[in-house]
Chains A and B, each alone.
Chain A
Amino acid sequence: MSEGEPPKGEPAKRLDDLDERLRRLRERAPDEAVKKVGPGALARQSAYGFAFRIGVELVVALAIGGGIGWLLDRWLGTMPLFLLVFFFLGAAAGLLNVFRAAKEMNRDG
């Protein structure tokens, strides 16, 4: 670590030198330094968190779709029709959400 050695001298000069050394280090590995502390770093560590997210996404979309269908049916008096239609639309929305979440994860990883 020859670059890590702090040189002796005037404080102002040492500070200038620190700037110089930092600049050199950043030039050498600009991406690595960002990646290490970047936001994506934490998310990649937890597959459990991601699995949980996908599960919630699927179930919630189904519930919302079913809920909208049920409300429409109660309002229009066509009991099973909209419930069924929106149940499947909700399932589609859930898959869409999961697809997007997976795409996002690929971008990070």
Chain B
Amino acid sequence: MAEGANPLEQFAIHRIVTIHIGGIDASITNSAVAMVVAIVLVTLFLTLGMRRHALVPGRWQSLAEMSYEFVANMVRENSGHDGMRYFPFIFTLFMFILFCNLLGLIPYNFTPTSHIIVTFVMAMVVFIGVTVIGFARNGVGFLRLFAPSGVPVFLLPLIVVIEFISYLTRPISLSIRLFANMMAGHTMLKVFAGFVVSLGILAGWAPLAFVVALFGLELLIAFLQAYVFAILACIYLNDALNLHAH
């Protein structure tokens, strides 16, 4: 098989600028560049879109306002008005993941969110942040999260352990969901694109049609996974802010 046809090759990380600081490899990789590009584009999209402050928004301003309102509604509905204090964080998270996912869909671009370390770090920030906020707001009372009300005393030790395991699964399921969706989708796209080439001009049209359909699905998944990540962060935040709402 030719070098470029390996469906997993797109996930390889290359060093672009090699930097070593005290034995730590701090090189700028293609993944880092893709993330920086995503951040720069989000910033440009929002600042240039809002540049005119028009009362009746143009196309770009509409898009910027829509994304703002979409996330603001999501935070308000899922974490209540208290949660709006953390809106900037959720909005940043959502826009960053969304742009990483979307930019990754452009051929030859790298998708940082297809690497579990990237998604895991984001999930851990949410997890640790929510735990810290929970303890800061409720003190030791936050531990009541592990002991739902109305449970008989003799079942309590069992329930507490189960709830604790369930709490620990949060960052892992959060990160695996995003990473696996992106990786599976991109691998599948590449495999079927490979079929197009190997089947040639005669039979290659069938997989080509499939690739087009799959690309549409991937576009949906790019939005959906950014949305799911952000909404779960909101729901976890809600647990920390309003304890009883289980």
Stretch at the interface among A20-28, A55-63, A73-81: A55-63
Q: Does B10 contact A (CB under 8 A)?
A: no
Count of chain B residues with a beta carbon within 8 Å of a chain A beta carbon: 29
Whole-angstrom distance from the CB of A68 to the nearest CB of chain B?
A: 7
Q: Which B residues lie within 8 Å of A53 (CB)?
A: 173, 177, 228
Q: Which residues of B contact A97 (CB under 8 A)?
A: 166, 169, 173
Stretch of B45-53, B71-79, B81-89, B132-140 on the interface side: B71-79
The verdict on A37 contacting chain B, using a C-beta distance below 8 Å, is yes
Interface centre among B70, B173, B235 (most CB of A within 10 A): B173
Q: Judging by beta carbons under 8 Å apart, are B176 and A39 in contact?
A: no
Q: Say whether B173 contacts A57, CB under 8 Å.
A: yes
Asked if A43 and B165 make an inter-chain contact with CB atoms under 8 angstroms apart, the answer reads no
**Cα distance A56–B169 when bound, in Å?**
10
Kindly provide the distance from the CB of B230 to the nearest chain A CB, expressed in whole angstroms. 9
Q: How far is the CA of A94 from the CA of B77 in the complex (A)?
A: 26
Chain B: minimal CB distance from A66 (Å): 10
Q: Taking the nearest CB of chain A, how far is it from the CB of B30, in angstroms?
A: 27
B224 interface residue (CB < 8 Å to A): yes
Contact of A42 among B78, B173, B224 (CB under 8 A): B224
Instruction: Give A15 to B167 CA distance when docked, in angstroms.
Output: 51
Query: Which residue among A39, A61, A86, A89 has the maximum number of chain B CB atoms within 10 Å of its CB?
Result: A39
Which secondary structure dominates where chain A touches chain B?
helix
Contact B70 A89 (CB under 8 A): no
On whether the beta carbons of A96 and B78 are closer than 8 Å, the reply is no
Known: A38-B73, A60-B173, A64-B169. A96 touches B181 (CB 8 A): no
Chain B contacts for A96, CB-based, 8 A:
162-163, 166
Interface residues on A, range: 20 to 34
**Which chain B residues in 155-198 approach chain A with CB under 8 Å?**
158, 161-163, 165-166, 168-169, 172-173, 176-177, 180-181
Which of chain B's residues has its CB closest to A53's CB? B177
Q: Which residues of A contact B221 (CB under 8 A)?
A: 46, 49
Is B223's beta carbon under 8 Å from chain A? yes
Q: A64 — which chain B residues lie within 8 A by C-beta?
A: 165, 168-169, 172
Using Cβ atoms and an 8 Å threshold, which residues of chain B touch A90? 165
Q: Are B223 and A42 neighbours in the complex by a CB distance under 8 Å?
A: yes
**7 tightest A-B CB contacts, nearest first:** A93-B165, A39-B74, A93-B166, A60-B173, A60-B169, A61-B169, A92-B162
**Could you jot down 8 A-B contacts, CB within 8 Å?**
A46-B224, A53-B228, A56-B180, A63-B172, A89-B158, A90-B165, A94-B166, A97-B173
